[in-house]
Amino acid sequence: MRAHLARVDAVLVQAVIAAALSFAHLHDAASAAGQDGWKAWAYPVSVDLLLVAAWRRLRSGDAKAAGWCWFLIALAASLGANVATAGLLDLDHVPAWLRILVAGWPAVAFLGGTLLVHSSPTTHDETSDAVGQEVPEDIEDQEDAPDPAPEPPAPPAVEPVPTPAPALPPVAVPAALLEHARKVAAEHHARTGTAIDTPTLRARLGVPPPMADAIAAQLT
């Protein structure tokens, strides 16, 4: 337990020292660029707030590209102030480009903070919660509703009874045609040794099928 507290205390002390030094460097850079009084103290607060807003966006998992963009911008402003106050720049004769960057920082910080805070898309969790709240109500309504009445059994299917085809009247065969058919049948039997069948008889006589059937019935 004591080792854990000592580790936490060491990290906390290191964070406080780093934040104080960065805060002081940002104040000195803003003051050297012509921002006097409370304005010089507002610049470190603006940079740190933009860093925190960008870090929260990265932790939330939404629009990480925007979060990384503004996090790097704020980090560059903080590191730039730290490097500028390390003796690389003459703070008594600040170049014009640094004055322009310091003077334009409030607009950049306001734009970044607004985009990070007020442009977060609607998360899927809110939609899921709304749907999840409606599901129990639907289930309760279904439980309270009366059971539907059972459907009556379907009547048994009745197979249609095939109706017999009406009997055709017998076909009258003329005596001359019947006699000619006998000759054709005898000639066929003498030539082939078998009785003539109905299709062959109909082809030889040139009569319709009912007439050929009637003649074949009388030849048997």
All structural domains of the chain with their residue ranges: 2-119, 175-219
Average the pLDDT over 46-51 and give the result. 84
Q: Which of 105-114, 115-124, 134-143, 168-177 has the lowest mean pLDDT?
A: 134-143
Q: Taking the complete model, does pTM exceed 0.85, yes or no?
A: no
Q: Is residue 123 helix, strand or coil?
A: coil
Which pLDDT band, with edges at 50, 70 and 90, does 27 fall under?
confident
- For residue 10, the one-letter residue type is A
Average the pLDDT over 120-143 and give the result. 49
pLDDT surpassing 70 at residue 35: yes
Give the chain's end-to-end CA distance (angstroms, integer): 122
Distances (CA, A) of 160 to 156, 164, 167: 13, 12, 21
> Is the CA virtual torsion 164, 166, 167, 171 positive or negative?
negative
Structure confidence at residue 144 (pLDDT)? 56
